[in-house]
Amino acid sequence: MKSEITGITRANEGIQGISWNILGQTYVPKSNTEHSFSWHATLPPGTFVPPHIHPDQDEYLYMLEGKLDFMLGNSESQATPGDLIRLGMGVPHGIFNKSEQTAKVLFWVSPTKKLFDLFWGLHNMKEQKPEDVVALAAEFNIHFLPPPPGG
């Protein structure tokens, strides 16, 4: 993996000019090493990341703009600008923009594992059909949860 430790990733730019479209959201990678991977995410109103688990990564989100609703383990919560959301390894979580405004968030995971490669795979899908997204994510050790009963 190429190390991107020293340097500046400019505002509105991703490393190597990369920008991904994933589940209707825009992800722009900011740094990528074997120890940590970060990306800026823009989540338009009505978009979400379905409940899932990272069995071997801690994930963090720093809210920059907007408001997001979270499923964190067995509880629900909201976050607004300045809040840091901590998602420990193995904790089920989902992220939902139920508001009327776009949310902007800095995400990062540690260690990186295969998440960078998963995002390329999702971005390159012709259609991001739920069953295909779930199957591909499982190949990269990210496990989506089944919908709740009646959901």
* CATH number of 24's domain: 2.60.120.10
- Domain of residue 95 covers 18-143
Q: Tell me how many domains the chain contains.
A: 1
**Rounded CA separation 129/134 (Å):** 9
pTM, entire model:
0.91
Q: H or E element: which one contains 117?
A: helix 115-123
**Beta-strand pair 103-110/58-65:** antiparallel
Residue 75 domain-assigned?
yes
Residue pLDDT tens, the chain, 151 long: 455 578 888 888 899 899 999 999 999 999 999 999 999 999 999 999 999 999 999 999 999 999 999 999 999 999 999 999 999 999 999 999 999 999 999 999 999 999 999 999 999 999 999 899 999 999 999 999 987 665 5
**Rounded CA separation 118/104 (Å):** 21
CA 129 to chain centre: 17
Number of Cα atoms under 13 Å in the Cβ half of residue 41: 27
Residue 22 domain-assigned?
yes
Residue 29 domain-assigned?
yes
